[in-house]
Amino acid sequence: MSYPPEYTPSSAEPRLNRPVPERYPQIRATSGYADPRVRRTGPGPGAGTEQEPERSAMLTARVAVAITVVIGQLWALTVATNAWMAGSTATAWWCTGFSAASFLVVLAAWRIGPRDR
């Protein structure tokens, strides 16, 4: 199976295809439209929410992974600076390698599945 999978603007699970007011009872007809300049009816039902609800959690997970990796990079930068200052240039370059590999991971987390919202 190729990644990302074929795009279908709804879910295989009927539960997730219910109209928006049922899925999100808190969202009112006027949610997001309290701007008094708006005089006409806006987009139809379902606009502005996830097109593929199952992929939403995955996107959240990608953000979480990316942030975790960046924290690792911050740590590696302190180790690299300390090592370089103490004269161990080789250790500093290893840390740089780690940082570059981490960047590739973040890049993958960003670029994979570009249609997810």
CA distance 21 to 47: 12
* Interaction between residue 20 and other proteins (CB under 8 A): no
Q: Are 6 and 114 in contact (CB under 8 A)?
A: no
Q: What track of x and - describes contact with other proteins for positions 58 through 97 (by CB under 8 A)?
A: -xx-xx--xx-xx--xx-xx--xxx-xxxx-x--xx-xx-
CA distance 14 to 51: 13
Nearest-angstrom CA–CA distance, 99 and 50: 33
d(CA 59, CA 95): 28
Over the window 21 to 50, marking each residue x when it contacts other proteins by CB under 8 A and - when it does not, the resulting string is: -----------x-xxx--------------
Question: Which residues are at the interface with other proteins (CB under 8 A)?
Answer: 32, 34-36, 59-60, 62-63, 66-67, 69-70, 73-74, 76-77, 80-82, 84-87, 89, 92-93, 95-96, 99-100, 102-103, 106-107, 109-110, 116-117
